[in-house]
Structure 1
């Protein structure tokens, strides 16, 4: 990223210890003296070498919505249990319940392939701001502007991906101040090596989610494979483990309060660059609606899953994701209110406005851009309810979502590749088909029908000027429980969308061929797809306006700040520097930064979500700590806190020490820190990590995972402490 984003040295800026999700390029611009003072024992150039386009940060991989890291030269990757959950679920059944019982491959031959699972290894970053902005024609309106930027990004990606096994993207920073081409190697053969029982990987369940103290072993180990010649390849018995140039050896000493750590990963999306009014709408409308709609969906899935063991497994992955988003929304609301974040943003904006007005000749365009952005926000808010519900139509009931997906695919495939929506381009077809196949494992008709019923009821309650035409045409404009139920039964009885073989055929058919099937659920999905396509055009115009306006405002904000500002998260590789420390969540309460195995056993009730597995209880009762007890705690450490700047997407991020050794795996934030997405508060900004010593204790004293421990250089004599490589 351009050096203008870093305006000052960080030598005398200890306040930045936790705040900031820094890009690899920015890390090289930070003061080496400051980094050393924080606790980094490696030269910054070892983290990232721009000449080679790689470095230790390349040991951190993108697993698709989560992060992970290589922990051996033979392709072993550690991530979160919940990030590997789709593979665990894929191989689970009532007769072989890996979700409940966990899984350990005793040899590479026993490792379980994950359908559609991939990992991306970063390879390089290139500033392409001039090329992207130069593609916009003079006088283009906002929709034309969006399309020009979108096409140039696709062209850059297509050129980048001419090399085999390459996955590229153009990432937008600060609303369009900078565009960066991200280049990665994509590995297509990913297999499950180890997952603890659910009662370890999810210990505390939703009750403890986003909370502290935690005692959750949210870890899993997978392995990436390649063809024998090292080339990326789809699953094959002939494939061999990936040879990782960079990986993080496991630290057997762990961490203690005050220690320096780094959290590396792919944080998804944060909102610190939004205007105060944009934040206020998320607080007043978006998050309350999320709680309402997803809360109902969760109740439906839980109730239906309890009626059928196979159904419970089928909805497990979806339910897990919904619970996380639902509770996150509650945390966002609580944090926005508690931290007065909107009010603080409004004050900060006012300060920037006052500053810019002093030099209106230079910053007048920025002031006008802010006013135009506010007008855009007010206009879009008028259609919020319809847009929100239409977006939900593809996220809840799987049947309509699948029907809509194959319909959108057919609609988009009729266009030239570079004119399609990015998610339906030819490069995405393998992923689409993997998803269409993988969803078969998630289908549970009773729950799916109930979810669709709830959606239809909400759609029929929309005001007259905000109707979803597809729902009105299929179900009528007035809600009747009996009529809606009968119609849904008819849709599902007459469809082949839910039959895997037929659905995969549909993925290769044209709009005309799909229509000729006269499939009722498919027809409903096609009408929903048309409305979603129209909504996409509206959003494209808004995005075009934002790309025209927001950069001017952001440049003013950065200039007025007079200090480094890390850009909002956008699913690209970042690093946050932190210290292990506890916090005070409220008056009179002090949370220590570490939890222990003894604390976990104190929570054990014998009932979910605090029902520790018998073999874990037995090892704990016998105090079989092995070498994994912390000398200071005199106990096996389980989880720890740090003040790293993290968000969604950082799940599975490696937490490493100043030597580059892995000391933990990030998996959560504390409740008081959820609204960190809108603004960093050092008093409560704490991320939650599982201590690597708890993983090693599980493998050593509970699982006796001899082969895996040897591969990790832990068993077979005294472990050899290595620096990262």
Structure 2
């Protein structure tokens, strides 16, 4: 719900060949699956019928995760950590669903997940020529406006029925391609089953991005429409059989963001600016939050979901810094760029986009701090900013609006703003005052943007005044402002709304500068870089991840770590052997109570060579027959460098097996109705 978005972004890549995907490497789009390469690697590849069925079963969750339909009645398999916010939003001090877990005995017990939407790709169309033609000879800010106007037009034309469909034009290869993805959407998503938090988070942060693992990171949602479960003819067949070593696996999901096609200057910006600032900020926020959570049991419960997300992100960014500071990797990436330049020189009209990127990144370095910090933090500020910008943008024609506020996007934005969810004032104050204090620190006390944000207030005083004075925690008030439009926003005396209005003009000014000096030039350079890549290595390339549907292939396999063989699987019994009695290695209560009924030999978690990244959480892991054998929930520690490349020797996807989920449904958190439903074909 931000007005603007930040940059998306170790013995790694030992066998890197610039621009050419090697065995098991690649997050491939469904309209460009590498059948010939997979046949060469595995002696077989899926046909179009197989791919179409799997694609129609895959689900994107708007909370940033992946999932899949696994029954004909709208049942969705995903990760526990992907539904943690739903559990959190439906919890109270007397009924802590996140801590205790949840089983809907009957479907009327299933609980709505605020802000959640399930989306299934129905078609993919190439609209590159339309977008490129609209851009024409324009540059800078004019280029971005022309591009965004054409994107808004295409999306509106593609989805006249916004109640059932969502259209999204996706930029691939940095502007080398544009694809229209049309989604069938389901805005009523409910929680059906989820284990207790400790079952999913056993091992906590120490085990995160590691293996062996003993985690039941799985949950079930259900999609509804018109108050009834959705009839999903296309769904994956549930297969509770254990995985076999070396069997072929596919991961189908929506990887969020990678930086594998970045130039050296872009990587330098990541290493020198964005990643160090982000890790420093998250480290301090983590400390502040832990201290506040120690103040009371209520704070401990209310802050847990936020803390889990912060710790996960912090580990990711630390891993990326380590990867980019590894001299072996840095050398390989430099060699890869030099190889691309050499192979593409003089081909297909490729000029010198690398110099253009260098200039754009240099300009962005001076804009980055205000562009990042002139905003707020926390749910209440997020509501205020979204309401203010949406009200302003809705007065304009669709083609003139900012991305994120066009007709194609507004239904989801409205849902996320108006859905009811709990708000905790102490947490809101902490988040907002933390952000304001760091903005003052990084921008400087005398900076005009600092003065705009703080005036004569301290971060703590301003945060407290805005949070205690706002009425935005009330969904009825948010609805009144949404329906009242710009007139209601401008008349509102709510301090958080007034504050968002105060910042909006400067945010627009910064966005215009970034578009003119960075985003516009980068879009032109991206088109040439894509042309260079295709000229050098051919058209069978996969683009960087964009939180759109991809498929990767691989196999069940362990790896060698420090000279020791890491097994490909763990068993349920390993949980009891690993438990120490102290968090985060304390046994889940249900495990402790039912130890004698749990089959200790059942495969719990396993690893594959599939190429994934954040956003793939909840992705179904599918065997050659097209049935689901697990849900991807993590990568190993080596995979953290996967943002910049893939090494099949050590990069691994970590999966919770359907065998373990089946055991849990039968013995640990009994759900006989779900067992019967999953058995249907």
Return the TM-score normalized by structure 1: 0.86
Q: In structure 2, the residue corresponding to 1:605 is in which secondary structure?
A: coil
Pairs within 5 Å for 1:316-465: 316-338=304-326, 340-357=328-345, 360=346, 362=347, 365-390=349-374, 393-394=375-376, 396-438=377-419, 440-441=421-422, 443-463=423-443
Using the alignment, how far apart are the partners of 1:578 and 1:584 within structure 2? 17
Using the alignment, how far apart are the partners of 1:336 and 1:702 within structure 2? 43
Shift of 1:651: 0.5
Q: In structure 2, the residue corresponding to 1:712 is in which secondary structure?
A: helix
Pairs within 5 Å for 1:251-650: 251-338=239-326, 340-357=328-345, 360=346, 362=347, 365-390=349-374, 393-394=375-376, 396-438=377-419, 440-441=421-422, 443-463=423-443, 467=447, 469=449, 471-473=450-452, 475-476=454-455, 483-511=458-486, 513-541=488-516, 542-562=518-538, 564-585=540-561, 587-620=562-595, 622=596, 624-625=598-599, 635-650=601-616
Instruction: Give the structure 1 partner of residue 28 of structure 2.
Output: 22
Number of positions where the alignment pairs a residue of Structure 1 with one of Structure 2: 660
Using the alignment, how far apart are the partners of 1:596 and 1:120 within structure 2? 33
Shift of 1:509: 3.8
Pairs within 5 Å for 1:45-194: 45-48=48-51, 54-64=52-62, 65-137=64-136, 139-163=137-161, 165-194=164-193
Instruction: Give the structure 1 partner of residue 656 of structure 2.
Output: 690
Q: In structure 2, the residue corresponding to 1:272 is in which secondary structure?
A: coil
C-alpha deviations, 1:221-247, integer Å up to 9, x for none?
Answer: 1111223xxxxxxxx3xx2x2221221
Shift of 1:510: 4.4
Cα gap change, 1:383 to 1:145, in 2 (>3 Å): closer
Shift of 1:559: 2.5
Q: Which range is displaced more, 547-556 or 73-82?
A: 547-556
Cα gap change, 1:147 to 1:475, in 2 (>3 Å): closer
Q: Which range is displaced more, 286-295 or 303-312?
A: 303-312
Using the alignment, how far apart are the partners of 2:262 and 2:446 within structure 1? 26
Shift of 1:103: 0.7
Instruction: Give the structure 2 partner of residue 681 of structure 1.
Output: 647
Using the alignment, how far apart are the partners of 1:499 and 1:72 within structure 2? 36
Shift of 1:31: 5.7
Q: In structure 1, the residue corresponding to 2:260 is in which secondary structure?
A: coil
Cα gap change, 1:659 to 1:459, in 2 (>3 Å): same
Give ranges in structure 1 of 5+ residues lacking alignment: 1-13, 49-53, 228-235, 630-634, 715-721
Using the alignment, how far apart are the partners of 2:474 and 2:186 within structure 1? 29
Cα gap change, 1:467 to 1:401, in 2 (>3 Å): farther
Using the alignment, how far apart are the partners of 1:460 and 1:558 within structure 2? 45
1:69 touches 1:79 (CA, 8 Å); kept in 2? yes
Using the alignment, how far apart are the partners of 2:343 and 2:394 within structure 1? 50
Return the TM-score normalized by structure 2: 0.91
Using the alignment, how far apart are the partners of 1:389 and 1:79 within structure 2? 34
C-alpha deviations, 1:28-61, integer Å up to 9, x for none?
Answer: 75367447625x5xx412223xxxxx43221111
Cα gap change, 1:324 to 1:372, in 2 (>3 Å): same
Using the alignment, how far apart are the partners of 2:284 and 2:38 within structure 1? 51
2:65 touches 2:615 (CA, 8 Å); kept in 1? yes
Cα gap change, 1:252 to 1:523, in 2 (>3 Å): closer
Cα gap change, 1:55 to 1:671, in 2 (>3 Å): same
Cα gap change, 1:563 to 1:118, in 2 (>3 Å): closer
Using the alignment, how far apart are the partners of 2:272 and 2:554 within structure 1? 32
Larger Rg: 1
Where has structure 1 moved over 6 Å in runs of 4 or more? none
Shift of 1:703: 2.5
Q: Which range is displaced more, 487-496 or 656-665?
A: 487-496
Using the alignment, how far apart are the partners of 1:310 and 1:536 within structure 2? 39
Q: Which range is displaced more, 644-653 or 564-573?
A: 564-573
Instruction: Give the structure 2 partner of residue 718 of structure 1.
Output: none
Instruction: Give the structure 2 partner of residue 230 of structure 1.
Output: none
Shift of 1:282: 0.6
1:383 touches 1:466 (CA, 8 Å); kept in 2? no
Shift of 1:371: 1.1
Using the alignment, how far apart are the partners of 1:182 and 1:476 within structure 2? 44
Q: In structure 2, the residue corresponding to 1:461 is in which secondary structure?
A: helix
Give ranges in structure 2 of 5+ residues lacking alignment: 1-19
Shift of 1:619: 3.0
Cα gap change, 1:333 to 1:104, in 2 (>3 Å): same
Using the alignment, how far apart are the partners of 1:680 and 1:535 within structure 2? 35
Instruction: Give the structure 2 partner of residue 670 of structure 1.
Output: 636
Instruction: Give the structure 2 partner of residue 701 of structure 1.
Output: 667
**Greater relative contact order (Cα < 8 A, sep 6+):** 2
